[in-house]
Amino acid sequence: MLQTFIKMITILNMLLLVLLTIPTLAYSSEAPELLPTLEIKGTRARDDRPAEASEKGESRIHRGKKTSQTTLTERPALTDQSARQALSDVSGLNVSEVSNQSFTSLSFRGLGDPHEGYHVQTLEDGIPISADPYGYPANYYAPPHQTLDALEYFRGGSSLLFGPQPGGALNYRTRALNPGDNLQLHTQQVLGSYGFFSSFNQVTAPIGDMGLRGTYLRRQGAGFRQANQDFGVDYAQVKAAKAWGATLLTLKLDTYAGDHGEPGGLARTSSDGVRGIDEGITATTLANDRLRIRRTGWLLLADTELGANLSMTNRFFGATYNRFSRRQNLGTAPVFGGVPNAETNTLQEQDFLNFGLESRLLRTFENGARWSVGLFGFTSASTFDQATGATVSSETGTATRAFDRSSRAISLFTEVEATVAGWRLVPGLRVEGIHQRVEETLNAASPENLRTQQDTTWVPLFGLGVERDLGRGVESYTNVSQGYRPIFFADAVPLAPGSSISEDLRPANSWSAETGLRQALSRDTHWDASVFYIQYDNQFGRSGAVLINTGAARHVGADLTASQALPWGLVAHGNVTWLNARFTEGPQEGLTPQYAPTFLGRIRLEQRIGDRFRWNVIGTLATRQFGDDTNTADQTLPGYGVWDFLAEADLVPGKITAMASIQNLFNKVYWSRVRANGIDPAAPFTIQGGLRVIW
């Protein structure tokens, strides 16, 4: 695998040198410097992105896309790793809350199962952080919110910027480190309900001409369920930055370890061998199941200014992942809300070794036009091992299944931004080359029928963005783009006994179109209204025990996002998505895709009182939605509204801050996640508070 990766890097760099030569030959040393108006274009507030969001240092084009940015440093600090609160300003993004904090589940505009964020491309500082974005895009890891500067969400056009996923891309942007940063100590200590404890500690120090930062986080809790909802997370990071000529080098190393109990799902009502939510949300069905995640990642980032009008960004990255689960076998108990009665368990362990490279070039021409081109290479080797344990809490057992898996991908992407007769046009192209291989090395139940599958696919993805200034700060925009979902490892060789896959299973694909108007009057007063249409074909699903392409769905809707400055220092933020999603072909024709509520809205009211006190109230409201594509009654999620409160008070300005939060302010009983084994109830009224010291 290492030799393959070295060859990939060599090929990518050779291609990049050729691409670099083209604009360099056309570049004149007498060319005028970039006009100031181009910097204004890069920082215009659009959608719900704060005004300071720009493309500087990223060598990519944001124009022609609908994007959202949440700057966490401008809000009261999040005391917990709450995706519901952190992503409250992003319209259309549905957070399916996992009560044991083991991973983040997200979906966008009803596109696919939100479980483990499979249908959303998840990145940290521009690089993918899922276990394998092409073969197993499960998101078991997210950087602590205390390390972040902002959360960025890129809608349909992300197919051109970051990858093929139909559901857009979420980028966790960590706080920048500069070589000249001063010595700083940062600690944040929080206590809360149900045994919650979080200790965040960070040191930033200049060492010669290099900046250095070290971070350690411990987060743990017992959970609100009766048993087996405890969790513990350890995270450490070292980041270094150094200027080398016209290049800023940043090296980041991080490690993550999480151990999470899985208390199990609940039925709606209790019966013999079944625990229901009518007993209360604290009921537990699984007493011994655990999920453990270990991840170590590294990133070398090089931002280079090659001239006044030419910049280049290179990323070299890698990661190791280990996922281990132990789960008690069901026995004769019902699946939905059942209490397992078998005396054995199933053990699964997956290991991933990933390497990647991304190079981006951005050229600005004298007439203001811009050209971005990039190359991306990725390779992953992984193993899957399954065993049966002799007891419900066994950590080892008798091997039953084993697989060797690999993914390799290479991508070329390019975009152009040009103004023609007052219309700003941004056409783009991304070509994905994906090779996957799955080899079954052990099948104790059928040793003579070991399966091997491999496939190589080349996929062109097109996009077009159009913008026009209409005067008085009003801007129109339109974006049309394609998406693609490859066949994942679990699709190629299913694990369930007796299951199989269709011989003509095809990758899923999508295209999306969105058009709207937006206006930015000031930093705190702006609005964005749009309508959208998404066509999602060849979706995956099951007909009995056979995995097939279940057909197509169309998703039609409208988005409205607005912020309004009010008297007394109040600012109101709100967003709402109206969605009408239906299957148009296949066995589910006429039904509603899972996690596609007709109405999803959020409200955030904030106020600063003087320079020392600030608070936020956040409301999340959703109408009824379904947890599966067959719209079964058990997996229906009732509509809900939940409210949170966050506040900060500076005890010593700029140095010591008291923090507090109340989650689920009115103690609403609701759930936003349901799985095949039952309802995962959301947390009740929860209080957290602590101190932040920066010195």
Please name which of 209, 144, 204, 147 lies closest in space to residue 174, comparing C-alpha atoms.
Answer: 147
C-alpha span between 222 and 218 (Å, rounded): 14
User: How much is the pLDDT for 536?
Assistant: 92
Band (192; pLDDT cuts 50, 70, 90): very high
| 3 state SS of 3 | helix
| Beta strands 121-124; 169-174: pairing state | parallel
Q: Alpha-carbon distance 369 to 584, whole Å? A: 41
**Which residue is associated with the tokens 């200790």?**
199
Q: What percent of the chain has pLDDT over 90?
A: 69
Would you say the C-alpha torsion 50, 55, 58, 64 has a positive or negative sign?
Answer: positive
Contact by Cβ (8 Å): 72, 148: yes
The DSSP secondary-structure symbol of 241 reads: E
State the Cα–Cα distance between residues 209 and 40, nearest whole angstrom: 32
Band of residue 162 on the pLDDT scale cut at 50, 70, 90:
confident
pLDDT at 158 over 70: no
Q: Whose CA is closest to 145, among 124, 164, 161?
A: 124
Tell me the average pLDDT of the chain: 87
Residue among 168, 169, 99 nearest 129 (CA)? 169
Q: Tokens at residue 585, please? A: 């072909």
Long-range own/partner contacts, residues 280-284 (CB < 8 A, 24 or more apart): 281/224, 281/225, 281/669, 281/681, 281/682, 281/684, 282/224, 282/225, 282/226, 283/225, 283/226, 284/225, 284/226, 284/227, 284/228, 284/229
pLDDT category at 27 given cuts 50, 70, 90 is: very low
Q: What is the pLDDT of residue 117?
A: 82
| Distance, first Cα to last Cα, the chain | 46
Least confident of 95-109, 197-211, 364-378: 95-109
What pLDDT, in 10s, does the model give residues 328-342?
999 999 999 999 999
pLDDT single digits (tens) 553-601: 999 999 999 999 999 889 999 999 999 999 998 888 999 999 999 999 9
Residue with tokens 């936003």: 672
Q: How far apart are CA 19 and CA 28, in angstroms?
A: 17
What gap in Å lies between CA 407 and CA 397, rounded to an integer? Answer: 28
Spatial CB neighbours of 149, under 8 Å, sequence gap ≥ 6: 71, 72, 73, 173, 174, 175, 176
Instruction: Measure Cα distances from 215 to 181, 487, 517, 535 in Å.
Output: 15, 37, 42, 43
Q: Is the pLDDT of residue 498 over 80?
A: no
User: Of 149, 139, 59, which is closest to residue 102 (Cα–Cα)?
Assistant: 139
Percent of the chain with pLDDT over 70: 88
Contact by Cβ (8 Å): 149, 175? yes
**What tens digit of pLDDT does each residue of 420-471 get?**
999 999 999 999 999 999 999 999 998 998 988 888 999 999 999 999 999 9
Structure tokens at 595: 């996690």
HSE-CB of 92 using CA atoms within 13 angstroms: 35
What CATH number does residue 670 fall under?
2.40.170.20
Task: Report pLDDT for 500.
Answer: 63
Q: What is the pLDDT of residues 126-148, one digit of tens each?
A: 999 999 999 898 899 999 999 99
Please list the helix, strand and coil fractions of the chain in percent, rounded to the nearest 5, in that order: 10, 55, 35
Task: Report pLDDT for 551.
Answer: 81
Determine the pLDDT at residue 411: 94
H-helix segments, 317-390 = none
Give the three-state DSSP class for 567. helix
Question: What local confidence, expressed as pLDDT, does residue 12 receive?
Answer: 45
**Confidence (pLDDT) at 451:** 86
> Element (H or E) spanning 491, and its range?
helix 489-492
On the question of pLDDT at 494 being above 70, the answer is: no
637, burial (CB in 10 Å: exposed 0-12, middle 13-18, buried 19+): buried
Q: Write down the pLDDT at residue 159.
A: 58
Range of the domain at 661: 2-694
The full 3-state SS of 12-75, as one line of letters, equals: HHHHHHHHHHHHHHHCCCCCCCCCHHHHHHHHCCCCCCCCCCCCCCCCCCCCCCCEEEEEHHHC
Tally of domains within the chain: 1
